[in-house]
């Protein structure tokens, strides 16, 4: 199967005509990461093909939403790119604690829901945001954010250690403190408070990385791109271990229940989802993270000492997975 080939967004979407060198490089790099991930996932899945939806934002910019459905491995997955710009509304300025002016934002966002309950859900996001003020005496405000986390339906400790070791290796290439700091941040962020459980085994999460850090802008850009490029190899290794395993109807029903938890987190707590809904974002792209099917069973309690119960016991903050 040939790798995915897509037309450049520059021929279809109105990007910011005032983009500087950094924003041009970021757009090019993020699009390249999206292309590479889609190509790798199509080859890995062996059946599913990404369908692309090119869209434009009336105020400026747009994106490429790509959805794969009914694959051999992936039941539903989205790999999205966006680059949007425009005036900063009062609501946006208040939410981000920035001055009025002009903004540019770009990112790649991924969620994969597998067919097999032995294969985990995975999420990754990398993003860049900057503002410019009408007051030329003020420096532009900019930052990077992102993260990657794993949500197994059944926690396999060997997979969990592998996942966190790979993330630590990526982080350590850029700063000795990143993994411990961002792992703790992920534990706190991917927490379903009303269930008193984590969404999965965590990963790394970071936001508003800027010049106040020891690293400069180029170095932080390299870091977020490294996270993006690390996504596909990590996912293919873990999914490849389990994609051919047989499963029972009970295990499938458990998968649907765990997807329900995923939906709860994304609609109640996820900052990107809430921000997109509150600011009139593109609804189809925002909600691409939701699974095709999910389930809510009233007061479900797994059997004692079952694999389901063991998984629930491990959905806690502060587990040292990388050792």
Active-site residue set: 123
Check if the beta carbon of residue 201 is closer than 8 Å to that of residue 152: yes
Q: Which helix (H) or strand (E) holds 177?
A: none
Q: Would you say 106 and 19 are in contact if contact means Cβ atoms under 8 Å apart?
A: no
Please state the separation of Cα 244 from the chain's center in Å: 25
Q: Collapsing DSSP states into helix, strand and coil, what is residue 283?
A: helix
The torsion of the CA quartet 315, 316, 317, 322, rounded to 10 degrees, works out to -60
- Interior/surface letters 21-52, b for 16+ CB within 10 angstroms, e for the rest: ebbeebbebbbebbbbbbbbbbebbeebebee
How far is the CA of 52 from the CAs of 35, 111, 182, in angstroms?
11, 15, 32
> Distances in Å between the alpha carbon of 89 and those of 19, 134, 279?
20, 14, 9
- The DSSP 8-state label assigned to residue 18 in this structure reads T
Phi, then psi, of 228 in degrees rounded to 5: -60, -45
Largest Cα–Cα separation, the chain = 64
- Alpha carbon distance 179, 164 (integer Å): 9
The Cα–Cα gap between 82 and 34 comes to 10
The first and second tokens of residue 80, run together, are: 């999205």
CB-CB contact of 120 with 291 (8 Å)? no
Please name which of 162, 119, 144, 134 lies closest in space to residue 226, comparing C-alpha atoms.
Answer: 144
């Amino acid at each position: 199967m040939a790798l995915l080939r897509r037309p450049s967004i520059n021929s279809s979407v109105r990007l910011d005509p005032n983009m500087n060198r950094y924003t041009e490089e970021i757009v090019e790099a993020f699009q390249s990461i999206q292309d590479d991930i889609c190509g790798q996932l199509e080859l890995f899945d062996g059946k599913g093909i990404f369908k692309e939806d090119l869209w434009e934002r009336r105020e400026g910019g747009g994106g490429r939403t790509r959805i794969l459905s009914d694959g051999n491995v992936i039941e539903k997955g989205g790999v999205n790119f966006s680059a949007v710009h425009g005036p900063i509304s009062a609501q946006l300025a208040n939410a981000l604690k920035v001055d009025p002016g002009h903004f540019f934002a770009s990112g790649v966002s991924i969620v994969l829901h597998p067919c097999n309950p032995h294969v985990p859900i995975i999420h990754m996001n990398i993003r860049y945001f900057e503002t410019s003020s009408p007051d030329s005496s003020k420096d532009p405000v900019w930052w990077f954010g992102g993260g990657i986390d794993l949500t197994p339906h059944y926690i396999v400790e060997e997979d969990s250690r592998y996942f966190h070791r790979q993330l630590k290796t990526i982080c350590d290439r850029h700063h000795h403190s990143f993994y411990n700091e961002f792992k703790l941040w992920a534990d706190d962020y991917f927490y379903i408070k009303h269930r008193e459980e984590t969404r999965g085994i965590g990963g790394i999460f970071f936001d508003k990385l800027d010049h106040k850090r020891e690293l400069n802008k180029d170095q932080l850009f390299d870091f977020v791109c490294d996270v993006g490029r690390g996504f596909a190899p990590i996912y293919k290794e873990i999914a490849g271990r389990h994609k051919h395993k047989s499963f029972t109807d009970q295990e499938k029903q458990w998968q649907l229940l765990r997807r329900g938890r995923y939906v709860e987190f994304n609609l109640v707590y996820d900052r990107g989802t809430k921000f997109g809904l509150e600011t009139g974002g593109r609804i189809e792209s925002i909600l691409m993270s939701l699974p095709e099917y999910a389930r809510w069973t009233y007061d479900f309690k797994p059997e004692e000492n079952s694999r389901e119960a063991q998984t629930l016991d491990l959905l806690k903050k502060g587990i040292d997975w990388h050792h």
